[in-house]
Amino acid sequence: MKRILLIAGLFITLFSSAQTKTHTQNSIEKSVSDTMVFDLQNATKTTISGNTYLDLPMYIISSGGISSFDFWFQFDEAKMTYDSTIVVVAALDALSNFNANNHNLSNTTSGPDLSYQVPGNTTLLKLRFLLANNNTVVDTSDFSGVNTLFNGNPCNYKFTFGTSGSGAGLVELLSNQVNWGNAFPNPTSDQLQVMVNENASVELFDLSGKVIIEKFNILAESTQSLNLKDQDAGIYLLKVETKKYSVTNFITLVK
């Protein structure tokens, strides 16, 4: 229960950003200078017992300290398989998981408490992938569906170009913020209101990938209420899908 309450505090402003329609009481401006970097440019290959691994460092560019960060994305599974997460700053608590149902690699990281901070621009952890073979070339095009949170708020991200063989210089894959709508309150104890700007469908998943709630044919500029009072406290994934885009974000349920 203590961990759930801690995570709840980190995600309280998840769906509030400068580029979404929000209710005033839930609105918070994100800092455009905060950027999560997946540093393919400095990724390294390691061969262990005949297997070749790629270690992908990640850090955060920020003018402030780091108390928590979260991300999830998909990658080319024909080229690589997620193996493990190596924590570089030992005091950080990193929880990584690959979900075979939605093919997302997700990570939640915090310090021992919310006051713990480390400087920006410091390598925080390395994501280790098992490569298909020693000649596998990994670049920015092998990653998609990226979502990032810094200190509980949506932030920018980029992938720097890797050194694994294609030699095209520095390329950045930048986040594309989608003006989809809003979900509130978050955290919630029973009801979640999902407001959409376009005709949409909504699905709520638990972290195992099981569908908890499905709502289809939600009209543009309307609000759909999701009843969560019979669900267990914890973290859930809310997926909002239209003809143009699909957005997935965390929802925290507290009891």
- pLDDT tens digits, 97-127: 999 999 999 999 887 554 556 666 688 899 9
pLDDT of residue 24: 23
pLDDT of residue 90: 73
pLDDT of residue 117: 62
pTM: 0.54
**% of the chain with per-residue pLDDT over 90:** 29
pLDDT of residue 118: 66
Neighbouring residues of 252: CB distance < 8 A, sequence distance ≥ 6: 4, 7, 8, 11, 12, 14, 186, 187, 188, 234, 235, 236
Strand boundaries in 170-210, DSSP class E: 181-184, 191-196, 200-206
Does pLDDT of 16 surpass 90? no
Distances (CA, A) of 117 to 17, 47, 129, 154: 23, 33, 27, 18
What does CATH list as the number for 35-160? 2.60.40.680
Does pLDDT of 78 surpass 90? yes
* Level-2 CATH architecture, domain 179-253: Sandwich (2.60)
pLDDT of residue 28: 28
DSSP state letter for 120: T
pLDDT of residue 116: 56
Residue 179 banded pLDDT, cuts 50, 70, 90 = low
Residue 165, Ramachandran bin (φ over 0: left; ψ between -120 and 50: alpha; else beta)? left
Per the prediction, the chain carries an average pLDDT of 76
**% of the chain with per-residue pLDDT over 70:** 73
Identify the residue with better confidence: 124 or 24.
Answer: 124
Please check whether the two domains, 35-160 and 179-253, share a CATH topology. Answer: yes
Tell me if the bond preceding 57 is cis, omega within 30° of 0: no
Give the whole-angstrom CA distance, residue 77 versus residue 144. 12
Residue 15 banded pLDDT, cuts 50, 70, 90 = very low
Neighbouring residues of 226: CB distance < 8 A, sequence distance ≥ 6: 191, 192, 193, 194, 202, 204, 213, 215
Domain range list for the chain:
35-160, 179-253
Does pLDDT of 85 surpass 90? yes
Give the whole-angstrom CA distance, residue 233 versus residue 252. 8
Does pLDDT of 40 surpass 70? yes
pLDDT of residue 1: 47
